[in-house]
């Protein structure tokens, strides 16, 4: 059969769509095949309960690359970002910590707990922004290969080294600390207030099977400082209409540029002839042919399931088998009849419009991890809550609300095995609601509907192996030139003309679009028709 398309993209998550949009804009005929009935992958909005639109998985946006927003004209295609200001942490003793983007308010809020910390906070923020500035360009680049370096790799490595050497001494030292320390140890050097450190440390553990005291988690603190909403460094925002609106806008850009997107089209196999990708076969047997295939699903699905290990080099197979997923997160989405009323700060104030963090202390956070280490979900978990309906009226009926609760830890590997999640899912949902109700006692009375997503659900429904929210842990040994395997961080794979373009490729997970954009650029460069 002759190829109808120049490229096929497996999966219509936001990265697959981003790759498709860049390829289509470069004049390539692109077909995107999506297993689910709806596009978006983990960046999706669904009306699970009538009138209430849940951002089912991802719920806040920060890392989406500004150049993608510009290049794909996402605002013109319907994307509107709304700011999410502040983090409110209620405490068991009835006190609270509430930080916002207003430096004076935050200074006063922290000074109630510690004057020393209030003074250190601004300095810390500036140091993290500076470190983010060093690391940010790495997100947009194809990682150089230090294992079999070509000239371009050597040049890129030299460039990074040169920028590193140009940093002031203290920043270089900070960078090395971030790479080696735990979030707890790193923050201990700056602050003394337990609730402040615990809430800040939380961003170090998201999507990893690590605790706040595990080495390497300090780096992930930085990952969460590299965001940018409308030019405001580090800030987090909501997409009007839920995170599905990000995927929808990217899809609109792709379709406008000529791409075709098909849903209910599960790819079962990547077709390979003489070591080269030639197309895909759907699970229903239909085949589509193209000289280039990009996969936005994770490496286990791409290589072990769709390509098949016998067609791959054995050292690469070993690396992919070793690649760690270890999902550790769950999600509880609630439809509410009214707003939760927190004992620590009563009433429907602005503190409910930002993030609400159940992270009252370091010991609490580490104990939540202890449960997970021994194959249990956290009885008292870390929970990151947002109530998007307070900022975006389109997601709930008037006077009603949606509440998104991101939860750690929910280990995929329960002590009785992952299948036990089907028996324990509701108990997990209860643990989440009971924990929040300790701080907001009216919660149980105002719940109209509850959606519980266990890591097993995340795997089954969204195709994320072991329920890992980032298509593989964002731990240091799986980042940059090691993602997803040494020697294969440049979007190419051992199968010629098969590329990775999802979160399992550099720079990893989060609604970022960078893997999709970088992979598309790689494909465009590799398949450029040479002028005579």
Ligand X SMILES: Cc1cc2nc3c(=O)[nH]c(=O)nc-3n(C[C@H](O)[C@H](O)[C@H](O)COP(=O)(O)OP(=O)(O)OC[C@H]3O[C@@H](n4cnc5c(N)ncnc54)[C@H](O)[C@@H]3O)c2cc1C
Cβ proximity to ligand X, 46 vs 194, nearer residue = 46
Task: Tell me whether residue 58 or residue 89 sits nearer to ligand X (CB atom).
Answer: 58
Residue list 331-370, contact with ligand X (CB under 6 A): 331
Mark residue 56 as left, alpha or beta (left: phi above 0; alpha: psi -120 to 50; beta: remaining). Answer: alpha
**How many residues contact ligand X, by CB under 6 A?**
40
Site for ligand X in 78-97 (CB under 6 A): none
Q: Does 68 bind ligand X (CB under 6 A)?
A: no
Kindly state the tokens that stand for 455. Answer: 């890591």
* Distance of closest approach, residue 457 Cβ to ligand X, in angstroms: 9
**What's the min distance (Å) between Cβ of 99 and ligand X?**
18
Residues of span 176-235 touching ligand X by CB under 6 A: none
Q: Which is nearer to ligand X, 191 or 412 (CB)?
A: 412
Six-digit token pair at 518?
Answer: 């970088």
* Cβ contacts of 220 within 8 Å, gap of 6 or more: 183, 203, 204, 205, 206, 207, 208, 474
**Minimal distance in Å, beta carbon 119 to ligand X?**
31
Closest CB to ligand X among residues 361, 484: 484
User: Per CB under 6 A, which region of 75-83, 120-128, 162-170, 507-515 contacts ligand X?
Assistant: 507-515
CA distances from residue 192 to 106, 196, 344, 382 in whole angstroms, order as listed:
16, 8, 21, 20
Q: Which residue has the tokens 């924990």?
A: 435
Q: Which of 5, 22, 52, 59 binds ligand X (CB under 6 A)?
A: 59
Residue span 95-134 as binding mask against ligand X, x where in contact by CB under 6 A, dash where not: ----------------------------------------
x/- letters, 366..405, toward ligand X (CB under 6 A): ----------------------------------------
Judged by beta carbon, residue 109 or residue 259, the one nearer ligand X is 259
SS3 content of the chain, % helix, strand, coil (to 5): 40, 20, 40
CA distances from 99 to 84, 89, 90, 232, 433 (A): 12, 9, 12, 16, 24
Interface with ligand X by CB under 6 A: which range of 22-30, 37-45, 88-96, 177-185?
37-45
Residue 11 found at the interface with ligand X (CB under 6 A): yes
Within 39-58, which residues bind ligand X (CB under 6 A)? 41-43, 57-58
β-pairing, 87-90 vs 96-99, is antiparallel
Report the residue number, 120 or 320, with the smaller CB distance to ligand X.
320
Name which of 305 and 380 has its Cβ closer to ligand X. 305
Q: CB neighbours of 416 closer than 8 A, spacing ≥ 6?
A: 375
- 3-state SS, one letter per residue, for 227-240: CEECCEECCCEEEC
In whole angstroms, give the CA distance from residue 468 to residue 452: 16
Provide the 10 A C-beta neighbour count for residue 274: 6
Per CB under 6 A, 455 contacts ligand X: no
Is residue 254 a contact residue for ligand X (CB under 6 A)? Answer: no
Dig out the tokens for 399 from the structure: 């006077």
Determine, following the binding rule CB under 6 A, whether residue 12 of this chain makes contact with ligand X. Answer: yes
Tell me the per-residue interface mask from 460 to 489 with ligand X, x by CB under 6 A, - otherwise.
Answer: --xxx----xxx------------------
**Is residue 458 part of the contact set for ligand X (CB under 6 A)?**
yes
| Dist CA 222 CA 62 (whole Å) | 13
- Which phi and psi (to 5°) does residue 321 adopt? -65, -35
Q: Give 262 or 444: the residue with its C-beta nearer to ligand X.
A: 262
Cα(274)–Cα(437) distance, rounded to whole angstroms?
60
Both tokens of 323, joined, read 């690649």
* Positions that interact with ligand X (CB under 6 A): 10-16, 33-36, 41-43, 57-61, 63, 266-267, 296-297, 301, 329, 331, 406, 458, 462-464, 469-471, 502-503, 509-511
């Amino acid at each position: 059969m002759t190829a109808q398309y120049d490229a096929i993209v497996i999966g219509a998550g936001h990265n697959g769509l981003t790759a498709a949009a860049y390829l289509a804009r470069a004049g390539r005929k692109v077909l995107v095949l999506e297993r689910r009935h709806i596009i978006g992958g983990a960046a999706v909005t669904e009306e699970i309960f009538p009138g209430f639109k849940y951002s089912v998985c991802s719920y806040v946006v920060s890392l989406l690359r500004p150049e993608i927003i510009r290049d794909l004209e996402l605002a013109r295609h319907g994307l509107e970002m709304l700011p999410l200001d502040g983090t409110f942490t209620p405490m068991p003793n009835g006190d609270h910590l509430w930080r916002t983007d207003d430096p004076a308010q935050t200074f006063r809020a922290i000074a109630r707990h510690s004057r020393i910390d209030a003074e250190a906070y601004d300095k810390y923020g500036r140091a993290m922004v500076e470190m983010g500035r060093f690391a940010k360009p790495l997100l947009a680049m194809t990682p150089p290969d230090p294992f079999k370096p070509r000239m371009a790799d050597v040049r890129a490595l030299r460039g990074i080294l040169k920028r590193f050497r140009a940093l002031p001494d203290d920043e270089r030292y900070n960078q090395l600390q971030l790479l080696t320390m735990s979030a707890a140890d790193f923050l201990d050097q700056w602050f003394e207030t337990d609730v402040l450190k615990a809430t800040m440390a939380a961003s170090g553990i998201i999507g990893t099977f690590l605790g706040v005291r595990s080495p390497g988690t300090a780096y992930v603190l930085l990952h969460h400082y590299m965001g940018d909403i409308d030019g405001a460094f580090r800030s987090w925002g909501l997409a009007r209409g839920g995170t599905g609106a990000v995927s929808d806008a990217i899809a609109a850009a792709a379709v406008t540029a000529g791409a075709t997107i098909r849903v209910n089209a599960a790819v079962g196999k990547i077709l390979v002839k003489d070591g080269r990708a030639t197309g895909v076969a759907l699970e229903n047997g239909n085949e589509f042919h193209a000289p280039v295939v990009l996969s936005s699903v994770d490496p286990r699905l791409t290589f072990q399931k769709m390509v098949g290990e016998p067609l791959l080099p054995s050292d690469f197979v070993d690396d992919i088998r070793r690649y760690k997923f270890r999902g550790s997160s769950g999600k509880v989405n609630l439809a509410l009849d009214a707003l939760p009323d927190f004992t620590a700060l009563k009433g429907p104030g602005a503190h409910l419009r930002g993030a609400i963090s159940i992270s009252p202390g370091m010991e609490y956070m580490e104990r939540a991890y202890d449960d997970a280490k021994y194959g249990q979900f956290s009885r008292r978990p870390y929970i990151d809550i947002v109530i998007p309906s307070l900022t975006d009226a389109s997601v709930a009926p008037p006077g009603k609300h949606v509440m998104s609760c991101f939860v750690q830890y929910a280990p995929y590997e329960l002590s009785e095995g992952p299948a036990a999640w089907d028996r324990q899912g509701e108990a997990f949902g209860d643990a989440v609601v009971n924990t929040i109700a300790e701080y907001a006692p009216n919660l149980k009375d105002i719940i109209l509907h509850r959606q519980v997503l266990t890591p097993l659900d995340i795997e089954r429904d969204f195709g994320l192996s072991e329920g890992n929210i980032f298509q593989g842990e964002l731990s240091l040994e799986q980042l940059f030139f090691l993602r997803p395997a040494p020697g294969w961080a440049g979007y190419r794979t051992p199968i010629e003309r098969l590329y990775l373009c999802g979160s399992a490729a550099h720079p990893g997970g989060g609604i970022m679009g960078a893997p999709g954009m970088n992979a598309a650029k790689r494909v465009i460069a590799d398949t450029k028709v040479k002028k005579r």
